[in-house]
Amino acid sequence: MPSPLAALARAAVALTAAVLCAAPALAQEWPKARPIRIVVPNPPAGPSDISLRPVAAAMQAALGQAVVVDNKPGANGNIGAAEVARSAADGYTWLWAMDPVLTVNPHVYKNMGYKADALETLVVAARFSQTLVCGPGTGFKSVKDMVAASKTRELTYASGGAGSPGHLVMESLLATSGAKMVHVPYKGPAPAMQDLLGGQVDCGFLAGPTVFPQVQSGKLIALATSGKTRSALAPELPTIAESGFPEFDGTFWILLAAPKGVPPAVQKRFVDAMNEAIRAPEQKERAKALDIEMVGSTVAEAQARAKGQSAQWAALVKRIHLTND
């Protein structure tokens, strides 16, 4: 009669064999079972949402299955991210998010509704920057003008909310330049821009497509963009790095993530399809109109990027005592 230990060993071997056999079978069947869902933790019609939709259409053709964009906004992206983190790791639910959702929120929220390690970053899909604009009444013509004025009088700046890209990049600039400005957070970029236009606040970092029409009409003055390279929509604007702060880089990223544990073959097929879609010339051209540059990456590159961004923002969060609990 076999010993209990021998029986346990045989059971473990059988279970391992079953799992190994099931993984290729799942990968072979995927994505036949049902439509694939990509969750966007922002409202519809924003830059990240708009940039994804043609990519999703291209992936649908490549994978032979419907790819649905599902907007789940709220709590600075935590609602959508939590839904993906709690989903089955079967390749039918993915997350398309601006990097602060994955690289800032874990340092800001004590309870995000999920554990940060429940999500795995897989692709650096795109990069984007913010544009520094001020009201004409400030008289600023350059970033150095704004920095100098901040040391002689109280200035305010608007953002789309605490922890938003506009908030993070302005605090990075203040830390770099030694400037001082009072943060006025709003519930989104639209009300922030309205108060900028009305003169209730002096300056702010906002998305280029949001502010460029107002700049062209003379209602706002654009001083610089936050990324390492100039905006394709406003190539005449210098970057912050070109404006006297050469080490400054306020680039943000759109990342693809998934629940941890998606079968490797499924993950590879989805990642390959996404990279092919976002690198297509027509996708890159569409994204330019949103001031977004489509990128693409390996899984290793994506995870290194997320790790680096997380470390960068963790230091800033600690410095400004940012908390949303």
**Cβ pair 158, 130 in contact under 8 A:** no
pLDDT tens digit sequence for 131-162: 999 999 999 999 999 999 999 999 999 999 88
Residues 184-219, buried b or exposed e (16+ Cβ, 10 A)? bebeebeebbebbeeeebbbbbbbbbbbbebbeeee
In this predicted structure, the answer to whether residue 17 has a pLDDT above a threshold of 60 is no
In order of 8, 15, 40, 208, the CA distances from 1 in angstroms are: 13, 22, 57, 75
Helices 4-29 and 264-278 meet at what angle, rounded to 10?
20
Choose the weakest-confidence range: 2-6, 91-95, 170-174. 2-6
CB-based contact 41:79 (threshold 8 Å) = yes
Question: 315-320 — which CB contacts under 8 Å span 24+ positions?
Answer: 316/168, 316/171, 316/172, 316/175, 317/104, 317/107, 317/108, 318/107, 319/171, 319/175, 320/171
Residues 42-58 pLDDT 10s: 989 888 899 999 999 99
Amino acid 21: pLDDT: 47
State how far the Cα of 291 lies from the Cα of 268, in Å rounded to an integer.
28
33-45 pLDDT tens trace: 999 999 999 989 8
With beta carbons less than 8 A apart as the criterion, state whether 77 and 251 touch: no
Q: What is the tens place of the pLDDT at every residue in 64-117?
A: 999 999 999 999 899 999 999 999 999 999 999 999 999 999 999 999 999 999
Predicted confidence (pLDDT) per residue in 96-107, tens digit: 999 999 999 999
Pick the range with the lowest mean pLDDT from 10-14, 113-117, 205-209, 228-232.
Answer: 10-14
Between the alpha carbon of residue 224 and those of residues 152, 174, 196, 236, 269, the distances in Å are: 21, 14, 16, 9, 39
Please report, rounded to a whole number, the percentage of residues in the chain having pLDDT higher than 90: 84
Is 226 a residue whose pLDDT tops 50?
yes
Q: Report the alpha-carbon distance of residue 81 to residue 73 in Å, rounded.
A: 9
| Cα(278)–Cα(298) distance, integer angstroms | 13
Q: How many CB atoms lie within 10 A of CB 240?
A: 28
- Other beta carbons within 10 angstroms of residue 297's beta carbon come to 22
For the segment 280-289, the average pLDDT, to the nearest whole number, is 93
For residue 202, the one-letter residue type is D
Domains of the chain with bracketed CATH: 33-128+251-320 (3.40.190.150), 131-243 (3.40.190.10)
Confidence of residue 10 (pLDDT cuts 50, 70, 90): low
Residue in the block written with tokens 């390492």 = 228
Residue 53 DSSP label: H
Sheet holding 182-185, edge to edge: 182-185, 156-159, 203-206, 131-134, 221-225
Residue 319: its pLDDT value, please?
92
> What span, in angstroms and rounded, lies between the C-alpha atoms of 80 and 171?
26
- Here the tokens at position 99 are 């990097």
Average pLDDT score, the chain: 91
